[in-house]
C-alpha cells in the first residue's frame, strides 16, 4: 500500500509544468506582499529555504534577496521545473533538493529565512513539520507562511475540505486562521504581519490543473450545487462552479 508521500508525488509529478504557468501560483497579491516583506529585510539573508516549493514561484522571489536559496520538495518533476526555470532566469544561487518536510535534512539554525506557499495543506503532520521548520531557522530569523485558509464556520469548512479532497486526493486540510495563529504561538514565534485576500479559483482551470477524473469533477459539481445557502455565499460559488476561498499570509520572527 502506498504512503501519502507516494500519493503526493503521483499527483504532482505529471502536473509540474501546469503549476509553473498557473496564474494562481505564478502571481497574486500574496506573492507581491511577500516580495515587499522580503525586500525590507536588513541585513540581507545569506541562506533561505522554500518548503514545498512546487513550481518554485516563491523560491524565485526569495532568490531576489538571499544569496543562497534551497527549493525543497517531494516531487522530483517539480524540482526539475524549478532547476530549469532558475537556469533560464540566471538565478545561480538557487538550488533544489528533494525530501520530506516532516524530517528536514538540515542542521539546526541553518537558515535566516524559511518560507512555504500553498504547500502546508498537503502536510500530514503539520505540528511536526512546523517544529522542523523552526528547528532549522536561526534565532532572529524570519518565517513566511502562505496557504489557502479553512473556514472558521464548520459547515462551510466541511464542504471546502470535501471538494478539495475530491479534486486532489493528496489534500490533507486547509487550516483556519485561528489554527495558524495557535501554531505560531505554540512555536514561540513573534508575529510581525498578517494579511488575507480572496482567491478566486476558476473551476475548469482548477480541476484541469490537477487532471481530476471526470467522476470526481461531477461529484464536486453535485456537492457545490446542492450546498446550503450559507456555504454557497461564504465560498462565493458561481454558476460555472468557480468559487472564492481566502489565502492567508503570516510573517513572523524566531526570537533571538
CA 123 distance to own-chain centroid: 10
Q: Number of helices and strands (H, E) in the chain?
A: 12, 7
Which of 209, 211, 235, 208 is closest to 224 using CA atoms?
A: 235
- Runs of H (alpha helix) within 27-142: 29-39, 57-62, 76-88, 126-136
pLDDT at 2: 55
End-to-end Cα separation, the chain, in angstroms: 44
Query: To 10 degrees, the CA torsion angle through 80, 32, 153, 235?
Result: -80
List, for residues 75-126, the tens digit of each pLDDT value: 999 999 999 999 999 999 999 999 999 999 999 999 999 999 999 999 999 9
Edge-to-edge strand list for the sheet holding 190-198? 94-98, 68-73, 47-51, 111-117, 137-148, 246-253, 190-198
pLDDT band at 27 (very low <50, low <70, confident <90, very high): low
pLDDT at 9: 59
Percent of the chain with pLDDT over 90: 89
Protein fold of 4-151+172-201+245-253: Rossmann fold (3.40.50)
Pairing of strands 137-148, 246-253: antiparallel
d(CA 139, CA 137): 7
Pairing of strands 246-253, 190-198: antiparallel
pLDDT at 145: 98
List, for residues 176-205, the tens digit of each pLDDT value: 999 999 999 999 999 999 999 999 999 999
Pairing of strands 47-51, 68-73: parallel
Cβ neighbourhood burial of 43 (10 Å; 0-12, 13-18, 19+): exposed
Q: Which residues pair with 196 in a beta bridge?
A: 248
pLDDT at 121: 97
* Whether pTM exceeds 0.75: yes
Percent of the chain with pLDDT over 70: 89
d(CA 219, CA 253): 42
Backbone angles phi, psi at 136, to 5 degrees: -85, -5
List, for residues 162-177, the tens digit of each pLDDT value: 999 999 999 999 999 9
Q: Are 52 and 104 in contact (CB under 8 A)?
A: no
pLDDT band at 20 (very low <50, low <70, confident <90, very high): low
Report the sign of the C-alpha dihedral through residues 158, 161, 164, 169, in that order. Answer: negative
Question: Is 16 a residue whose pLDDT tops 80?
Answer: no
pLDDT band at 52 (very low <50, low <70, confident <90, very high): very high
* Domain ranges for the chain: 4-151+172-201+245-253
Amino acid at each position: 500500500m502506498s504512503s501519502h508521500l507516494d500519493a503526493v508525488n503521483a499527483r504532482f509529478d505529471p502536473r509540474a509544468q501546469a503549476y509553473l504557468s498557473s496564474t494562481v501560483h505564478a502571481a497574486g497579491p500574496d506573492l507581491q506582499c511577500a516580495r515587499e516583506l522580503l525586500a525590507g529585510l536588513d541585513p540581507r539573508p545569506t541562506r533561505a529555504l522554500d518548503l514545498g516549493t512546487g513550481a518554485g514561484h516563491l523560491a524565485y522571489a526569495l532568490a531576489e534577496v538571499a544569496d543562497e536559496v534551497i527549493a525543497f520538495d517531494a516531487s522530483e518533476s517539480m524540482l526539475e521545473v524549478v532547476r530549469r526555470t532558475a537556469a533560464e532566469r540566471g538565478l545561480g544561487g538557487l538550488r533544489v533538493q528533494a525530501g520530506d518536510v516532516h524530517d528536514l535534512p538540515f542542521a539546526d539554525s541553518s537558515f535566516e529565512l524559511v518560507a512555504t506557499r500553498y504547500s502546508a495543506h498537503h502536510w500530514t503532520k503539520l505540528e511536526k513539520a512546523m517544529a522542523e521548520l523552526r528547528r532549522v531557522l536561526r534565532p532572529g530569523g524570519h518565517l513566511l507562511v502562505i496557504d489557502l485558509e479553512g473556514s472558521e464556520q464548520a459547515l462551510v469548512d466541511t464542504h471546502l475540505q470535501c471538494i478539495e479532497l475530491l479534486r486532489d486526493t493528496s489534500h490533507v486540510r486547509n487550516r483556519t486562521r485561528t489554527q495558524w495563529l495557535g501554531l505560531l504561538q505554540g512555536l514561540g514565534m513573534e508575529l510581525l504581519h498578517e494579511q488575507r485576500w480572496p482567491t478566486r479559483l476558476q473551476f475548469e482551470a482548477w480541476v484541469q490543473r490537477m487532471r481530476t477524473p471526470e467522476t470526481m469533477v461531477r461529484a464536486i459539481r453535485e456537492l457545490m450545487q446542492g450546498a446550503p445557502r450559507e456555504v454557497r455565499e461564504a465560498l462565493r460559488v458561481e454558476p460555472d462552479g468557480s468559487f472564492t476561498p481566502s489565502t492567508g499570509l503570516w510573517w513572523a520572527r524566531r526570537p533571538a
